[in-house]
Amino acid sequence: PEERRVFGLNSIHQSRSGGGHYGYEAEVSKTLDLKGGEPTCNQGGMVILEPVYAASKADYFTRTTKDQAGALLATDYTDPPMVASSSLRPRRLTPVECTRLQGFPDDWCDQLAITDPTDAQLDYWVDVWAEWNRLRGVRPRSRKQVASWLADPTSDSAQYKLWGNGIALPVARHVLERLKNFARARTG
């Protein structure tokens, strides 16, 4: 199998044209950060690459890994000249991969739905949403909207936010274990 390569994005190199932004090859992904809105960040700014073979009618280039001619392309002037391979193209991590990277079990976000909430549960979540929306200065959700959210509370987007803004479980355990050992040693 072909070896995967990791690239950091949006590094700055002043001598490059076009603003100096480019990518660099790395062995280790950078730490998760709060750069959220930047499209190159992807909660960490790293991309897993899988090769894509391309030919340009203007530049006539292609990536080859063997001593063979490139694929023939049957296109007209409106078709983009691309031949894609299944390996080395950028892809987003799945929510399950993010869960694993943070040290949690695969099913951590499963079974969060409350399909038939009690009045007490619904009242609690209506109050939670009312406070959240008050703090953000937006209109509160209706009981029906809250009940609908309780029936299906997870989405890929919500999980990316959860894992991207959370602390990795092994790190939290390590820090808390060190604090516990330090406290025991002082009272000892």
The answer on 30 and 4 residing in a single domain is yes
Question: Percent of the chain, pLDDT > 70?
Answer: 53
The answer on 163 and 125 residing in a single domain is yes
Report the DSSP pairing between strands 88-91 and 21-26: unpaired
Residue pair 156/95 in contact by the 8 Å Cβ criterion? yes
Per mean pLDDT, which range of 24-28, 110-114, 132-136 is the poorest? 24-28
In the chain, which ranges are E strands? 5-12, 21-26, 46-50, 53-54, 82-83, 88-91
DSSP 9: E
Chain segment 81-110, per-residue pLDDT in tens: 555 555 556 778 889 999 999 999 999 999
**Pick from 86, 106, 131: which residue ends a domain?**
86
The answer on 131 and 81 residing in a single domain is no
Domain of residue 160: give its range. Answer: 119-187
* pTM for the predicted model, two decimal places: 0.48
Q: What's the Cα-to-Cα distance from 75 to each of 56, 69, 83, rounded to whole Å? A: 12, 18, 11
Residue 188 has pLDDT above 70, yes or no: yes
pLDDT-derived band at 182 (thresholds 50, 70, 90) equals: very high
What is the mean pLDDT of the segment spanning 106-123? Answer: 93
Total number of domains in the chain: 3
The answer on 66 and 40 residing in a single domain is no
Residue 76 lies in a domain: yes
The answer on 61 and 10 residing in a single domain is no
What is the mean pLDDT of the segment spanning 156-173? Answer: 90
**Pick from 86, 104, 138: which residue ends a domain?**
86
The answer on 183 and 125 residing in a single domain is yes
Mean pLDDT for the chain overall: 73
Of residues 164, 2, 167, the one with CA closest to residue 92: 164
Residue 110 lies in a domain: no
What is the mean pLDDT of the segment spanning 48-58? Answer: 52
Which residues are 11's β-sheet partners?
Answer: 22
Number of Cβ within 10 Å of residue 163's Cβ equals 22
The answer on 152 and 171 residing in a single domain is yes
The answer on 80 and 43 residing in a single domain is no
Which residues are 48's β-sheet partners?
Answer: 6, 91
What is the mean pLDDT of the segment spanning 55-65? Answer: 51
pLDDT attached to residue 77: 60
Residue 179 has pLDDT above 90, yes or no: yes
